[in-house]
Structure formats: structure tokens, C-alpha cells
Amino acid sequence: NETEAEALAGVAVRDLESARGAARKLTEAGLRRVIVTLGANGALCGDVHHPAFAMQAVDTTGAGDAFIGSFACFLAEGVPEAEAIQRANLYAGLSTLGVGTQKSFVTREILESRWGGTPA
């Protein structure tokens, strides 16, 4: 997330461009892949921004965990990286519609019923 990217890169992360700068610095330090989650602004993978899906968030607790867990699952299933990030964005967004963490994580069926490819 922005806070962790800022701490690791030693660069203030305040917007998309500064997140790109932090990701670039971490890549230059030897990391092969840097993904910075940006909450309602989606996620950044390297230099590529993946917008979030619009949600009326109730509780954002656990959204980052929902993102990274679902992202890893999608990659393990063979989903291409860019699509896996977008699907993880959707899963994380849907997790903010309920209160709490694990109990707000939606089922695969709900996720698939909402999947349309890219944010509107």
C-alpha cells in the first residue's frame, strides 16, 4: 500500500505519480515486481495504473488483505497478471461493502457475477 511503499522507498507517496516514483525506486533497488495498492484509486503495477471499481465503502478494514490474497489466487489459477490485478481490485472493493474482515469477503459466485472486465 501507499504507506508501505513510502517506508520502503523513502519517498513520500501522495498521489499516482509519487506512487510511480516509489515503485520505480524499489525496482531500481532490485525488486522484480512492485505493486502498490492505492485504495479507492486502484493499484499500480510497475508503471501501469489499474483503476478501482466504484464502491460505496462501509468498512475498508481488510481490503488490502482481500486484494493480495485474491491476486495470489488468480495468479495461481493462471489468470494473466493485468487481469488478476483488476479482479483483485474488484474483490477488494466488494470486501468494503460489509463490516469487518473475513466475514465481508464475498464468495467466488458473487465475485464472478460482478466481473465485467474493467471499471466503468
Biggest alpha carbon–alpha carbon distance for the chain: 40
> Mind listing the pLDDT tens digit for each residue in 63-116?
999 999 999 999 999 999 999 999 999 999 999 999 988 888 998 888 988 888
Which residue type occupies 6?
A: E
Q: What is d(CA 96, CA 15) in angstroms, rounded to the nearest whole number?
A: 21
Per-residue confidence (pLDDT) for residue 118, from 0 to 100: 62
- Band (pLDDT 50/70/90 cuts) for residue 49 is very high
Which of 15, 47, 59, 65 is labelled catalytic? Answer: 65
> Mind listing the pLDDT tens digit for each residue in 99-113?
988 888 998 888 988
Q: Which DSSP string do the residues of 43-102 spell out, in sequence order?
A: EEETTEEEPPPP---S--TTHHHHHHHHHHHHHHTT--HHHHHHHHHHHHHHHTTSSSSG
Per the annotation, the verdict on 65 as an active-site residue is: yes
Q: What is the pTM of this model?
A: 0.89
Q: Please give the distance of CA 80 from its chain centroid, rounded to a whole number.
A: 15
